[in-house]
Amino acid sequence: MNSELLEAARAKYEAEVLKYKANIRVYLFQSVGIGEHPDIVSAVEEQIALLAEAEEKLSVTNKLITEMSDRVTRY
């Protein structure tokens, strides 16, 4: 059960990473169609901050999964 919770968290953070990377690509390469964001630099910075947070959470989750797996293997 605990591993399922961590796997669900990992899937969520992986999806968030993909989402924020996609958003950044849109801002960088298709910014013509983005009329509601007159300050594209700020919008990109916001997505980068969200991406960094999601990547950090993913890293911690992966570390926890590894630790739990090692713990189960030892017993």
Cα–Cα distances in Å, from 70 out to 35, 53, 74, 75? 50, 26, 6, 9
Specify the pLDDT at position 10: 98
CA separation for the pair 54, 60 (Å, rounded): 10
Closest CA to 45 of 27, 72, 31: 27
Q: Where are the domains of the chain?
A: 2-74
List, for residues 17-73, the tens digit of each pLDDT value.
999 999 999 988 987 766 666 788 899 999 999 999 999 999 999 999 999 888 776
Residues 6+ apart with CB under 8 A from 62: 10
Q: Going by C-beta distance under 8 Å and a sequence separation of 6 or more, which residues neighbour residue 50?
A: 16, 20
- pTM for this entry: 0.84
Q: Which residue has the higher pLDDT, 32 or 16?
A: 16
pLDDT at res. 3 = 86
Is the predicted pLDDT of residue 1 greater than 80, yes or no? no
